[in-house]
Amino acid sequence: MLKLIENEVLKMLCKKKLLLISGILLILISLFAYGENHSYMNTIKRFTQTTGQTQNYDWKSLVNQQITDLKSRLNSPYNKDSSKNSTNIKIEQLQYYLDHNMNPITPNAAKFTIKFMQQAVLLFLPLLVIVLAGDSVSGEFSTKTIKVLLTRAVPRWKILLSKYISLLIMTSLVVLEAAVISIIVSTVMFHTGGWNEPVATGFRSVAGKLDASNVVKVYQWQYSILVYGLGWFAAITVVTISFMVSVLVRNTATSIGIMMATLIGGEFLQLFLEDWPLVKYFFVINLNLPKYLTGSFQPIEGMSLIFSIIVLCVWSIVALAVSFRVFTKQDVLV
């Protein structure tokens, strides 16, 4: 079994996909870090201009101003009722930061690394792992190599399992790589680590009010491990479903296409059909796990971190069951 997994990992390495993914990651993270730095500079510039302060601005007054901004937005007649809740919570969160002397403004490596995963988990990371998983089985069909693979004295479920495990390994590598690259890039860009700064997590919104009683202060490094763990879990789910599609369609281009359409379509679904309760059972809606940690996040009524994790687990299990069922029974006619 170990040898089979080794084979599969070797195959993926030989296709140089990981190299491609690393390249994409490096470019995108660099751009993202540059943009982050740029917008931070802009914020300071605007702030120092309006308040007339000099270079040594005080982040506390900036946060205070943000709170004022949000409050005025809350009272604006154009504001939708649905977003009021989260705005409210955001205000209270900022207030909490202010009260507890925690700086949410100045970017540093830790914040950037966390923010990157929070952004990437929804679309970017899934797209990357789809590239890996999309052809794991269908690629063997396209190149007809499935014949040599399935005419050995190895039962089919073992072959499929080895493929799945190797995918898990590769996905973990990609998540790890994303972490490492963003740590390096952001350290170079922002010069400060900030790994030992505290973060407040565990906010809960109860009836539109922020419940800070359960808030725990953790260090940034702990928080980032948590965020990347959740991101990893989301990526695994996407890989598993993509793996099933790859078994079902037997064509690499189609399988990657289907998965991309599903992911992007899921985003639309969330935008347009948020009133429809069934939507929350769709896996794409539930991918944004790290954002639950901020407390102000609830994409659709009734969703929570636990709910999303359970939904994703169910999807993975069903996808695996379908994959194994189909793969072990089907006739190979390529």
Partner 1 sequence: MGKQTLLLENVTKTIKGKEIIKGISFSINEGEILGFLGPNGAGKSTTLRMIVGLSTPTSGVIKICGHSITKNYVQAMSNVGCIIEGPDLYNYMSGMDNLKMLAVMSKDVTEKDIFDAVELVGLENRINDNVSTYSLGMKQRLGLAQALIHHPKLLILDEPTNGLDPSGINEFRNVIKSLVKERNISVLISSHLMSEVELLCDKVSIIKNGTILKNAVVEELLNTQEVFWVLDDNLKGKELLKNLWGINSYIIGEKLEAAVDLTRLSQINKSFLEEGLMLKFVDNKHKTLEDLFLNLTEGNKII
Closest CB 130 distance from partner 1, rounded Å: 20
Q: Find residue 249's DSSP bridge partners.
A: none
Q: Which span (1-9, 76-84, 197-205, 254-262) binds partner 1, by CB under 8 A?
A: 1-9
Closest CB 144 distance from partner 1, rounded Å: 4
Query: Quick one: 7 or 119, whose CB is closer to partner 1?
Result: 7
| Site track 196-235 with partner 1 (rule: CB under 8 A), x = hit | ----------------------------------------
Determine the Cα–Cα distance for residues 119 and 190; give it in Å rounded to an integer: 19
| 169 is a contact residue toward partner 1 (CB under 8 A) | no
- Return the residue matching tokens 């922020």: 210
Three-class DSSP category at 272: helix
| 154 is a contact residue toward partner 1 (CB under 8 A) | yes
| 150 is a contact residue toward partner 1 (CB under 8 A) | yes
- Report which of 155, 182, 201, 217 is spatially closest to residue 4, judged by C-alpha positions: 155
| 147 is a contact residue toward partner 1 (CB under 8 A) | yes
Three-class DSSP category at 145: coil
Please report, to the nearest 10 degrees, the dihedral formed by the alpha carbons of residues 63, 69, 75, 81 taken in order.
Answer: -80
* Strand pairing class (216-219; 204-206): unpaired
Task: Decide: 131 and 235 in contact? Cβ < 8 Å.
Answer: no
Task: Decide: 61 and 51 in contact? Cβ < 8 Å.
Answer: yes
Query: Quick one: 11 or 84, whose CB is closer to partner 1?
Result: 11
Task: Decide: 159 and 149 in contact? Cβ < 8 Å.
Answer: yes
Q: What amino acid occupies position 291?
A: K
Question: Which of 23, 35, 155, 277 is close enough to bind partner 1 by CB under 8 A?
Answer: 155
Query: Quick one: 251 or 298, whose CB is closer to partner 1?
Result: 251
Task: Decide: 184 and 177 in contact? Cβ < 8 Å.
Answer: no
Structure tokens given for 190: 């922002």
**What is the size of the binding site for partner 1 (CB under 8 A)?**
24
| 99 is a contact residue toward partner 1 (CB under 8 A) | no
Question: Which of 46, 152, 217, 325 is close enough to bind partner 1 by CB under 8 A?
Answer: 152
Closest CB 150 distance from partner 1, rounded Å: 6
Q: Which span (50-58, 137-145, 185-193, 286-294) binds partner 1, by CB under 8 A?
A: 137-145
In the chain, what's the furthest Cα-to-Cα distance? 77
Query: Quick one: 81 or 331, whose CB is closer to partner 1?
Result: 331
Query: Quick one: 4 or 133, whose CB is closer to partner 1?
Result: 4
- Return the residue matching tokens 């790290």: 290
Closest CB 177 distance from partner 1, rounded Å: 22
| 184 is a contact residue toward partner 1 (CB under 8 A) | no
Query: Quick one: 150 or 313, whose CB is closer to partner 1?
Result: 150
| 18 is a contact residue toward partner 1 (CB under 8 A) | no
Rg (CA), the chain: 23
CA distance to 111, 185, 270, 279, 304, per residue, from 273 (Å): 32, 38, 6, 7, 18
| 251 is a contact residue toward partner 1 (CB under 8 A) | no
The residues binding partner 1 (CB under 8 A) are 3-4, 6-7, 10-11, 14-15, 143-145, 147-155, 329, 331-333
